[in-house]
Structure 1
């Protein structure tokens, strides 16, 4: 019977059919909204590791079981391997696998069964100490860059101690080690660990403390989750490095320490710098410094060459001064000619004005007679001033004349080739020389030479020096 027939018979029309995929999606959304992330406990069974890295298993108890999946990203951070028959506690998301309509749990994290109580204690203590500010980053102390002595708090029988000692011997053989022995697990280990940390800080012989232990279960590492140990670490006057367990293991001591190392070996690497690396760095720094010194010397040498090129010879300076004097002489001559021409022009203009005005000789004769001496006087003064300027320039030029210098008693010495001798080192005993005076010259021979610049120029006579040539 069709829907039309049903409707015509007075029955209600049926609702549209829902696809299975939509139904499963709605059920999954309702499940995930109704059940937040929660912890469940059970026994692992039907365990299967897929090639993709996902892990499939079932969790069961005496009355029921449920399918579970732990995706690869979560399984890689687990830190241990699931096995059938294990009792675990899992943090799960309740959901539905839509493709097959299977109810399942997506496992976000897992821990071995029986550690839930310890883990809760761990979280409560961590929260308490964190509220007190015991883990604050501003309370962390810096590690010494180059410690000379390191304190190690651990068990003498621990494999972690051998790892730390071998690492220190390899990286920094110059660093000495002081071991403060203590049990690192078991009943009563926590107070002894705290006491060993206090002894290491009070000894005053070390600069940094390493607290270390190898990996193990939460129960094995529980001594390092003790409040007394955490407070002993913070009260220690020396910076403390905690290297307890493996990289995935965290303890209260890790949070209280100034630096947390993932392994005991890493703690040793943090405590002491690698000697070979610092020596290599020192060699690199030395090479860089040498290169910089060489570059600086090369730059200064180049600067010296540049300054030497700028330094002029005295002869060049004299030539420049002579050229300047010639220019001044030319300007003086041109100035005198221009002044004379200007004066002649003014006189001619006055003459023309005089002729045009047709002055009355009788009326202006007295004035002309008075102006004539003034004109002659002004002309004489101008001529004398120009002559005085010319004399001053002539005297200045005479001072620069080498003959004028020789007139004051100086002379010029030339060798047989006619070259002027400026240094006694260029002469040899017995060599013939010519001495030029202000008037005349004299031929002479060198008796001896003296390279001492401090010999008096006048008034001291000729001094004989022992050992002179």
Structure 2
């Protein structure tokens, strides 16, 4: 077989790039290819830490021990096949490919499979025992026995506290309620459970004839390989093969396999499946019997209907005319009675409908006196509210009129002020606006004065005018200290 080498490698693990400069990306790619070519898939054991479950389903975690740690990546298509949920602090064994994440130059493991620490040893022991017993012919298909078609009583080997016992009972009650069940209690987990299960199988085998047992179920619910290890006991496998009656093994879930499954005559995926297998013919027979019963009842009814029609036709030919007339009268009377009863029922229904409508009308009819009183009270309140509002608005209007009158120009002139205009009628606000000899007019509260300016004093008064009143609220529109002395 030809071995492919990375570019620049001579096969000794060294590279020769002295004559050129590598880019970082190319360097990381060559390092990844060298790692993947140097290290095959291998098992690495350690403790999980920094576990992250991405929304995409990928797992990212660190695998560490006392000396070092390494980053690990497990893609979703691999992670979703795990039989357990990885958690931080869990000791595991990872089957991984040594690689490099080129984008960041991170050394990491690409995890292909993951198992809890110690499971590998148990699995290897399971495989060795299975191969040895298979070589002895213990699992030979020719040694397997068929289950009884219509058993009257069966035995169940399991723990009374196990959920599998209740699952089996529920399935048997549903599928074969008349089937009798005998429980042979035994531990299904823990130290020595395998040998005790084997002893119970032997006890059931010796008592099978006296107890009337026709088949035996060995059941337990799902669990880890450690939980199911009692069913990988060699003595249990040999007890199953030497049992006097057929045995159905229903241990764990569909993906769980134990030595007991191979040694038993029939293997079921679950405890419920074991109950279904042992009652398959009973269940099918019950359904077939019910189907035949329905078919027989239908055939008999059809036959009776056919004969009844023939009898009626024959009877019609044998009836005397007087009898026919009497029968017609009787039929007419029955029809009349039915018609009368139908009319009475219809009339009663109409009366009930009328009473219901009358009741609804009485409930919806308004109380005129109460509504009139309510309207009068509302009218009184409205009139009172209108008068109150009008008085408030009138008072407000009077107050505003008084303020407006107080601020009117004539009111200001009446307090001693005047308005001085030049010859063009412009209001004079400064002595600098006119000179000596200019004609002016002075508007007083009553009348006007016309005068000529003899002289103009242009000096500006800098003293602060005396303020008599500082109550601007009494004179809206005027600033403080603007009132006349």
- Counterpart residue number, 2:52: 48
In structure 2, the residue matched to 1:397 is none
Q: Which moved more, 1:267-276 or 1:67-76?
A: 267-276
More divergent stretch after superposition (127-136 vs 46-55): 127-136
Correspondence 1:26-425 to 2 at 5 A: 26-202=30-206, 203-204=208-209, 205-273=212-280, 278-284=285-291
Q: Is the 8 A contact 1:167 1:269 kept in 2?
A: yes
Label 1:65 to 1:195 Cα distance change in 2 as closer, same or farther (>3 A): same
Cα gap change, 1:158/1:21 in structure 2, threshold over 3 Å: closer, same or farther? same
* Cα distance, 1:25–1:175 mapped onto 2, change above 3 Å: farther
Structure 2 residue ranges without an equivalent (≥5): 1-16, 301-485
TM-score by length of 1: 0.54
Aligned CA distance change for structure 1 residues 225 and 54 (closer, same or farther; 3 Å): same
What CA distance in whole angstroms lies between the structure 2 residues aligned with 1:84 and 1:208? 46
Aligned length: 283
C-alpha separation in 1, matches of 2:175 and 2:242: 29
Question: Do the aligned partners of 2:45 and 2:94 also contact (CA within 8 Å) in 1?
Answer: yes
* Deviation of 1:103 (Å): 2.4
1 CA distance for matches of 2:108 and 2:86?
18
- How far apart in 2 are the matches of 1:50 and 1:174? 53
Q: Which runs of 5+ in 1 are unaligned?
A: 1-12, 294-469
1:23/1:159 CA distance change after superposition, 3 Å: same
> Partners in 2 of 1:118 and 1:133 — Cα distance?
23
Which residue is equivalent to 1:385?
Answer: none
Shift of 1:250: 2.5
Alpha carbons of structure 1 residues 17 and 181: separation in structure 2 relative to 1, 3 Å: same
Supply the distance in 1 between the matched residues of 2:56 and 2:156 (Cα, whole angstroms): 44
> 1:283–1:255: structure 2 CA closer, same or farther, 3 Å change rule?
same
Q: Cα offset for 1:91?
A: 2.0
Q: Secondary structure at the match of 1:56?
A: strand
Secondary structure of 2:248 counterpart: strand
SS in 2 for 1:268: helix
Q: CA deviation at 1:18?
A: 5.7
Give the conservation status (yes or no) of the 8 Å contact 1:171–1:274: no
Measured after TM superposition, the shift of residue 162 of structure 1 is: 1.5
> Against the structure 1 CA distance between its residues 230 and 19, is the aligned structure 2 distance closer, same or farther, given a 3 Å change threshold?
farther
Residues 3-32 of structure 1: CA deviation (Å, up to 9, x unaligned): xxxxxxxxxx98566666565455444433
**Are 1:172 and 1:273, in contact at CA under 8 Å, matched by a contact in 2?**
no
C-alpha distance in 1 between matches for 2:225 and 2:115: 10
Give yes or no for contact 2:42–2:96 (8 Å, CA) kept in 1: yes
Q: In the TM superposition, what is the alpha-carbon distance from 1:42 to its structure 2 partner?
A: 0.7
Q: Aligned partners of 1:67 and 1:292: how far apart in 2?
A: 75
Give the structure-2-normalised TM-score. Answer: 0.52
Decide whether aligned partners of structure 1 residues 123 and 30 sit closer, same or farther in structure 2, where only a CA change above 3 A counts: farther
Residues 289/63 of structure 1: CA separation in 2 closer, same or farther (3 Å cut): same
For 1:29 and 1:292, the matched residues in 2 are separated by 79
When structure 1 is superposed on structure 2, of 258-267 and 160-169 the one drifting more is 258-267
User: How many Å apart are 1:215 and its aligned residue?
Assistant: 2.7
Looking at structure 1, the residues matched to 253 and 299 of structure 2 have their Cα atoms a distance apart, in angstroms, of 47
Distance 1:162 1:45, change over 3 A: same
CA distance in 1, matches of 2:31, 2:292: 68
The answer to whether the 8 A contact 1:247-1:262 is kept is: yes
The answer to whether the 8 A contact 1:43-1:61 is kept is yes
Decide whether the 8 Å contact of 1:79 with 1:248 is kept in 2: no
